[in-house]
């Protein structure tokens, strides 16, 4: 990395030329200047941090370092000057922003795309997002905002948004002159950053994944957020009422059994009741002074006291009510009747997406009660939901990377992979593999993907560590290809200090040579898991781009709604079901060419439970 960065300072670039556009004459001059350019940085100022709720306050543009323009549109403080008419400005900017031959540069440009799309303007050719570029260069959390990047790569300390807005409600309440400088800096610095970051991407050979994968994905994610998913409020509201009633009843029953009222939601208080007052014996210690009350611990002492089972069920129901049903109702947009999640493209260190506000990547599917919740996610009238998910994508990728004979053969012959693993692991013929053998083999396969350890496997299988160690030895002797892949990957990473995925995404592994065994083991598991999880993330991203292209090509109305790591969910017009299913299968299974086949399964239904 470049270690000749300037020290923290208030140094600003010399000779900046920032202008505010307040009348049509100035706008005309700006448009004239823009015609013929090939690249422009765009930044919108808005009233809220959430793009689906935000209103536009102003737009800043820069097409040359040190030169930027701010077009105020909706500043509303007393004595605010008259500003240009929004529809008129949009029509003037449309030939530029919708021109696919002019490259758009932005910092978190998905945000600006959504804000402008709501006004009816669609940015075309989002070419460079400095936030995404920075994350590719170092996939860690929380170091990719504009002020951080400016300091790191340009040596400029920017005025923070907080310093600009102070105690005022929104940016619309701040004087145009102040905002103009801030907004122009945003556009100007974004353009300057692009010029710094592109050579770095090229040097690290990250430009291909940036231009071919991450940037095309921005528009797709933005549209998925704008699409949202329809949620049946009439299903959730009575469900919440029932759950709340049940919670009330259950807590009374528990207090009776424990002969004391306390805050059931407090792990600390619950721990005191169970392990001090009732003198139950926990299986594990805790660091923070009281014994853990987690489900796995309580499961083990379930038959020791009648309250335990009730507490587990209480937890289950409160999790549903407080963690899912209530927030989901709140997140239904009154204008659209739909929930618009937010996708975070730089949210993980492996290249997966993250979903928030609300997180729609962790909607329950396992328990009977939780599963039911998926009935609330429904299709628009005349439509159905179509779900498509990869079968065993991570194990298939492990098979590809390791070239392990048994794994490759199992996938080529479309075997039940866990059953197949059990056969070889326990050396028994197929017809003698019991459900329990299969379950054990499944835990081993999970372990392989996570960077296996005897301790972790023992926990996952509910057996002794020594026994787990023996199973791992067996696995490696029957799967020498996997063993070699793990050894080679670790060796390579110890030398280079980072791991790579199929398309060349890198993750720095800081502690791979640490003296501290705990840190080193953690680093080793990251080393094994990252290429697997990261490549799976790339495969589905490629599929999303291909699917999007085909939908456009065939002018389909089907909308992509959700991505849940190895699953895509679509809202399909009833006439398009067959053609969509075909496209989705073709694009997902042929996203990349590996030495094992990729397989998906699809489902159709009026709600998410039925479709999955």
Which residues in 284-313 contact DNA (CB under 7 A)? Answer: 286-288, 292-296, 312
Q: What is the DSSP secondary-structure string of 29-63?
A: HHHHHHTT-SEEEEEEEES-SSTTT--EEEEEEEE
Q: How many residues bind DNA (CB under 7 A)?
A: 72
Name which of residues 553 to 582 contact DNA (CB under 7 A): 564-567
* Binding test (CB under 7 A) with DNA, winner from 3, 435, 515, 517: 517
Stretch that binds DNA, among 67-75, 196-204, 232-240, 518-526 (CB under 7 A): 518-526
Q: Which of 237/265 has CB closer to DNA?
A: 265
Q: Which of 342/548 has CB closer to DNA?
A: 342
CB of 583 to DNA, least distance (A): 21
Alpha-carbon gap, residue 523 to 512, rounded angstroms: 5
Partners of 69 in beta bridges: 19, 61
CB of 428 to DNA, least distance (A): 21
CB of 2 to DNA, least distance (A): 25
What is the widest separation between alpha-carbon atoms in the chain? 84
538 binds DNA (CB under 7 A): no
**Packing angle of the helix pair 306-320, 233-258 (nearest 10 deg):** 160
Q: Which of 99/145 has CB closer to DNA?
A: 145
Q: Which of 224/457 has CB closer to DNA?
A: 457
Stretch that binds DNA, among 86-94, 160-168, 404-412, 451-459 (CB under 7 A): 451-459
Alpha-carbon gap, residue 235 to 147, rounded angstroms: 44
Q: Which of 506/565 has CB closer to DNA?
A: 565
C-alpha distances in angstroms, 112 versus 189, 209, 505, 542? 16, 22, 26, 23
Query: Which two tokens mark 131?
Result: 């936030």
* Binding test (CB under 7 A) with DNA, winner from 533, 535, 558, 602: 533
* Contact by Cβ (8 Å): 374, 608: yes
CB of 528 to DNA, least distance (A): 8
Q: Which of 154/308 has CB closer to DNA?
A: 308
Per-residue x/- marks for DNA, 400-439, CB under 7 A?
A: ----------------------------------------
Name which of residues 127 to 166 contact DNA (CB under 7 A): 141
Q: Which of 330/552 has CB closer to DNA?
A: 330
Q: Which of 75/374 has CB closer to DNA?
A: 374
* DSSP three-state, residue 159: coil
Alpha-carbon gap, residue 135 to 65, rounded angstroms: 23
* Binding test (CB under 7 A) with DNA, winner from 110, 194, 315, 418: 315
Name which of residues 465 to 484 contact DNA (CB under 7 A): 465
Q: Which of 38/518 has CB closer to DNA?
A: 518
* Binding test (CB under 7 A) with DNA, winner from 225, 437, 526, 576: 526
Name which of residues 358 to 377 contact DNA (CB under 7 A): 358-359, 361-367, 370
| Beta strands 39-46; 103-106: pairing state | parallel
Q: Which of 18/450 has CB closer to DNA?
A: 450
* Contact by Cβ (8 Å): 343, 354: yes
Stretch that binds DNA, among 2-10, 119-127, 244-252, 527-535 (CB under 7 A): 527-535
* Contact by Cβ (8 Å): 86, 93: no
C-alpha distances in angstroms, 485 versus 446, 449, 531? 16, 12, 11
Where does 300-345 show beta strands of DSSP type E? 332-333, 338-339, 342-344
Q: What is the 3-state secondary structure (H, E, C) of 411-449?
A: HHCCCCHHHHHHHHHHCCCHHHCCHHHHHHHHHHHHHHH
Q: Which of 237/263 has CB closer to DNA?
A: 263
- Tell how many helices (H) and how many strands (E) occur in the chain: 25, 18
CB of 323 to DNA, least distance (A): 5
Burial of 130 (0-12, 13-18, 19+ CB in 10 A): buried
Name which of residues 10 to 49 contact DNA (CB under 7 A): none
Name which of residues 328 to 347 contact DNA (CB under 7 A): 344, 347
Stretch that binds DNA, among 84-92, 182-190, 282-290, 427-435 (CB under 7 A): 282-290
Burial of 583 (0-12, 13-18, 19+ CB in 10 A): buried
* DSSP three-state, residue 514: coil
* Contact by Cβ (8 Å): 443, 369: no
Q: Which of 105/444 has CB closer to DNA?
A: 444
* Binding test (CB under 7 A) with DNA, winner from 228, 451, 481, 603: 451
Q: Which of 72/351 has CB closer to DNA?
A: 351
* Binding test (CB under 7 A) with DNA, winner from 20, 130, 271, 607: 271
Alpha-carbon gap, residue 419 to 541, rounded angstroms: 30
Query: Which two tokens mark 419?
Result: 């059953």
* Binding test (CB under 7 A) with DNA, winner from 55, 246, 322, 610: 322
Per-residue x/- marks for DNA, 249-268, CB under 7 A?
A: --------------x-xxxx
* Contact by Cβ (8 Å): 584, 568: yes
CB of 75 to DNA, least distance (A): 29
Question: Does residue 319 have a cis peptide bond before it, meaning omega lies within 30 degrees of 0?
Answer: no
* Binding test (CB under 7 A) with DNA, winner from 355, 392, 535, 548: 355
């Amino acid at each position: 990395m470049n270690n000749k960065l300037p020290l923290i300072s208030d140094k600003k670039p010399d000779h900046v030329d920032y202008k505010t556009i307040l009348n049509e004459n100035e706008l005309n001059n700006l448009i004239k200047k823009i015609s013929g350019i090939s690249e422009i940085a765009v930044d919108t100022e808005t009233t809220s941090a959430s793009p689906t709720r935000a209103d536009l306050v102003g737009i800043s543009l820069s097409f040359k370092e040190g030169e930027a323009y701010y077009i105020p549109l909706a500043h509303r403080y007393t004595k605010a000057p008259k500003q240009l008419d929004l529809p008129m400005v949009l029509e003037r900017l449309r030939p530029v922003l919708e021109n696919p031959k002019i490259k758009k540069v932005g910092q978190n440009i998905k945000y600006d795309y959504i804000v402008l799309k709501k006004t009816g303007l669609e940015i075309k050719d989002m070419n460079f997002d400095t936030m995404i570029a920075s994350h590719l260069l170092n996939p860690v959390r929380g170091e990719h905002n504009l002020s951080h990047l400016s300091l790191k790569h340009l040596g400029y300390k920017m005025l923070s948004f907080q310093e600009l807005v102070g105690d005022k409600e929104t940016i619309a309440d701040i004087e145009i002159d102040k905002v103009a400088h801030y907004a122009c800096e945003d556009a100007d610095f974004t353009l300057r950053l692009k010029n710094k970051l592109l050579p770095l991407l090229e040097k690290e050979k990250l430009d291909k994944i940036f231009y071919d994968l991450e940037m095309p994905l921005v528009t797709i994610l933005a549209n998925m957020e704008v699409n949202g998913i329809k949620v049946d409020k009439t299903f959730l509201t009575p469900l919440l009422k029932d759950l709340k009633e049940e919670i009330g009843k259950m807590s009374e029953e528990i207090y009776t059994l424990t002969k004391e009222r306390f805050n059931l939601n407090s792990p600390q208080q619950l721990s005191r009741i169970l392990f001090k007052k009732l003198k139950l014996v926990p299986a594990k210690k805790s660091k923070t002074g009281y014994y853990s009350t987690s489900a796995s611990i309580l499961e083990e002492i379930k038959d020791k006291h009648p309250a335990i089972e009730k507490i587990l069920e209480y937890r289950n129901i409160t999790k549903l009510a407080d963690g899912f049903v209530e927030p989901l109702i709140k997140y239904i947009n009154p204008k659209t009747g739909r929930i618009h999640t937010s996708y975070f493209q730089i949210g993980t260190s492996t290249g997966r997406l993250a979903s928030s506000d609300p997180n729609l990547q962790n909607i329950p599917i396992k328990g009977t009660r939780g599963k039911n919740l998926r009935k609330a996610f429904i299709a628009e009238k005349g439509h159905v939901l179509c779900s498509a998910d990869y079968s065993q994508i991570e194990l298939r990728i492990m098979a590809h990377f390791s070239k392990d004979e048994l794994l490759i053969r199992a996938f080529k012959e479309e075997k039940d992979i866990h059953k197949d693993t059990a056969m070889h692991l326990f050396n028994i013929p197929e017809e003698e593999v019991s459900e329990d053998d299969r379950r054990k083999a499944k835990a081993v396969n999970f372990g392989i993907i996570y960077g296996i350890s005897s301790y972790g496997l023992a926990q996952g299988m509910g057996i002794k560590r020594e026994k787990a160690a023996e199973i791992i030895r067996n696995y490696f002797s029957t799967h020498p290809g996997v063993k070699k892949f793990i050894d080679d990957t670790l060796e390579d990473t110890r030398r280079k200090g980072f791991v790579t995925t199929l398309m060349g995404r890198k993750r720095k592994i800081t502690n791979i040579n640490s003296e501290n065994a705990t840190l080193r083991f953690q680093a080793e598991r990251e080393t094994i898991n990252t290429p697997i999880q990261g490549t799976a993330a790339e495969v589905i991203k490629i599929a999303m781009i291909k699917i999007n292209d085909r939908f456009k090509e065939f002018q389909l109305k089907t909308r992509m709604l959700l991505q849940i790591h190895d699953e895509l969910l679509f809202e399909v017009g009833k006439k398009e079901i067959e053609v969509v299913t075909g496209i989705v299968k073709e694009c997902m299974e042929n996203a990349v060419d590996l030495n094992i086949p990729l397989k998906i399964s699809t489902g159709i239904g009026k709600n998410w439970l039925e479709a999955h």
